[in-house]
Each structure stands twice: as C-alpha cells, then as structure tokens.
Amino acid sequence: MDPLFLDAWIQKGFALDRMGKSKEALDCYDRALEIDPENLGIRCLKGFAFNNLSEYEKSIESYDEVLKVNPDDVFSLYQKGLALESLGRYGEAMKCYDNALDIDPTDVLIREKN
C-alpha cells in the first residue's frame, strides 16, 4: 500500500471499524489525518469509532472539531447527540437533534429522536 494513499487509509479504517476493530481503525484515521489534516470526513469517522469503543467524550470532541468548521453538518450533530445520550446528557442531546432538524427537517432518524 502506498503510505500516502489517503483513500486507502480511510477505507481500511472504515473496514476495520465495521469488523469491530475500532482501535485499529483509529490508527488508520490518524494516519489519514497526517496526510490530510483538514479532512472533516475523517474526523467524523473517528467520532464514530470512538462511539463504538464507548469513548463518548472523545467522540463528542471529534464531532465538535467538525462542527467548528461546518456547524450545519447534520451527521455530526446527530452523532454528537447519540454520544451525549449515552452519557445521560439528554438536554444537550436534544439541542443537537433540534439543530439538526432545523437544518434538515426531513431526516427520518433525527425526527425519531424528537
């Protein structure tokens, strides 16, 4: 594998995460961020992997990094809400879901949370 082939690192990380190997996936995502540190999609994937590891605070941090740059990222708002729910922070989670619904009122997953 070409060590600078960004998509290969992302896809390997995604596959590992889907196989339940989220720690290994995070290593791939970190390598991908070394190549493209501004890539918001990789930060979303890291948030998802942290969530799979029940590391909810780190998951929230990853989504917050995305939301600083793109506050209208519905996926990050939704996933941050899920992480907050897992921590029992229901009021904050609802704010995330409400913000996401303001951006995309047709999103079925978010509507189920309201």
For residue 90, CA distances in Å to 36, 41, 62, 85, 96 come to: 34, 26, 19, 5, 10
pLDDT at 111: 76
CATH code of the domain in which 15 resides = 1.25.40.10
Residue 77 in domain: yes
Residue 61 in domain: yes
Q: How many CB atoms lie within 10 A of CB 32?
A: 24
Helices 74-86, 90-103: axis angle to 10 degrees equals 170
Domain count, the chain: 1
pLDDT at 7: 93
pLDDT at 114: 66
For 52-70, the pLDDT digits (tens) are 999 999 999 999 999 999 9
Q: Are 64 and 79 in contact (CB under 8 A)?
A: no
Residue 86 in domain: yes
Residue 1 in domain: no
Which range marks the domain in which residue 70 is found?
Answer: 6-113
Residue 39 in domain: yes
- Report d(CA 52, CA 47) in Å as an integer: 9
Instruction: Give the chain's residues under pLDDT 50.
Output: none
pTM of the model as a whole: 0.89
